[in-house]
Structure 1
Amino acid sequence: MWSKLKQIIGKTTSDTKTYADFYLQYLEAYYKPDLKKSIHEQSFVILDTETTGLDLGQDNILSIGAVRIINNTIDISDSLSIIVKNQQFQTQNAVAIHGLVQTDIKGQSEGESIAALFKFVGSDIIVGHHIAFDIAMLNKLSRKNGGGDLKNNLLDTSYLARRLDHTTDPDSLDRKEYTLDKLCSRFKVIPKARHTADGDAFITAIVFMKLIQKLYIKGVTSTGQLVRK
């Protein structure tokens, strides 16, 4: 066990023992995806978080929503919905945007929440809209509770949409034209429960399915081709 953990995180055996159990279990079970596998046979976790703001240093996670795609199908029975107990002062804007009231924010503890998230994602490729921020917030919460960073491959639907439109230089396109709302409009996805973690995860899952269908037609058929930058 310890040799595998050392290989994954690049630390000594004594270092790994300082991690919380949830993270050690995640590392022990983690494996890299088969890059030769068809994207239609791959397993993905579509993830969204709602936070008290966009300041990575000061703000906290309010809720986490995730749903799994496997064998080219959104499996709504295999989903995760967590309200994170949060003591941070709740502003009127946060209430308006997220629809959460104080009673909602008495959910699971931060430790319980992050442990459940790591267990749910396992080794699957994680997908989200502007996923880097969500992952940074989750990694922060993990470290705060004795864990470490997620090792999973990541896919950003904003980047995939730009890649669909400009194969050779996706970053040359204006990111403001690739918001989740604009992608919903483009692909005729009804944005139900927008600005909730559960709702945005499901909406993003539908958008992601539309994107990989179009990318597949353009020759992006394997997992390795999909995750390349």
Structure 2
Amino acid sequence: MNALSWLTGRTPQLTEQQRQRCEHLPTAAALDDTALNQQRLVVIDLETSGLDMRRDQVLSIGAVVIEQGAIDLGQQFECTLQRHDHQVSASVLIHGLAPSAIAAGIAPAEALLGFMEFLGDSPLLAFHAGFDQRMLGRALKQTLGYRLRHPFFDAAELAPLLCPQANIQQGGLDDWTDYFGLQVQQRHHASADALVTAELALILFSRARQQQFDSLLALEQGLAGWRRRQQAHSL
């Protein structure tokens, strides 16, 4: 079954060209033993209208690529999604997206198709990835009828797994950037947050290789054990 056929609710209103682009989106690659310094990984950050994963909307997407063990500044994605029905809320004080910028943004179907074509079959990484994964997945389902199956890695989990000596429990992005002395250009801006998350990821991947986690598959296995230990400690 093609991902486009996984629909709930009303059928998205797409042009024939958009439907064809959906049909030709690549299938997510399975995790394997590709070395971390050979892996293409897309680091994403979303700005949203709020934190309610059932009702709030994606307003902007920022993403950078890690490939061949470095951030490839030639591969970046940034867009603001057009939302005619957007209601101004307190979140504007965080993300700084003016109503005029949102009204002048890219149509959601075009923005999301553009991002998925940029993503290709690569896995994703974000800080507090569960939120980004849910919000992006819902936007794709509602707008394109597309089911997101790409693996997501969470830098907020990788950091304490690989750097327990930091003794940062449930830390935010600011905690880890301060710990490693990273410079943040502009917080709560999708592209800037994606870039600093990618810088953090490179540090974490260096620590991972030192600990014999030299692939995303190995990291996923390490995270599974870490999650079990965290759950046991909380009982």
Q: Same fold (TM over 0.5)?
A: yes
- Identical-pair percentage: 25
1:220 is displaced (CA, Å) by: 0.9
2:36 is aligned with 1:39: yes
Number of aligned pairs? 210
1:204 corresponds, among 193, 197, 208, to: 197
1:184 corresponds, among 173, 177, 181, to: 177
2:61 is aligned with 1:64: yes
Give the Cα separation in 2 of the matches to 1:16 and 1:195.
32
1:81 is displaced (CA, Å) by: 0.3
* SS, match of residue 36 in structure 1: coil
Shifted more, 71-80 versus 146-155: the winner is 146-155
**8 Å contact kept, 1:50–1:195:** yes
* SS, match of residue 78 in structure 1: strand
- Cα distance per residue 1:28-58 (max 9 Å; x no partner): x225246121111100000000001100112
1:227 corresponds, among 217, 220, 230, to: 220
In structure 2, do the counterparts of structure 1 residues 227 and 145 end up closer, same or farther at CA, with 3 Å as the change threshold? Answer: same
2:138 corresponds, among 137, 140, 152, to: 140
TM-score relative to the length of structure 1: 0.84
In structure 2, do the counterparts of structure 1 residues 64 and 85 end up closer, same or farther at CA, with 3 Å as the change threshold? Answer: same
Q: What aligned pairs does 1:18-97 form with structure 2 within 5 A after superposition?
A: 20-26=19-25, 29-33=26-30, 35-86=32-83, 87-91=85-89, 93-97=90-94
Point out where structure 1 has 5 or more consecutive residues left out of the alignment.
Answer: 1-5, 168-172
1:213 corresponds, among 206, 213, 217, to: 206
**Structure 1 vs Structure 2 CA RMSD:** 2.4
Q: Specify the alignment match of 1:170 in structure 2.
A: none
Letter in 2 for 1:182: D
TM-score relative to the length of structure 2: 0.82
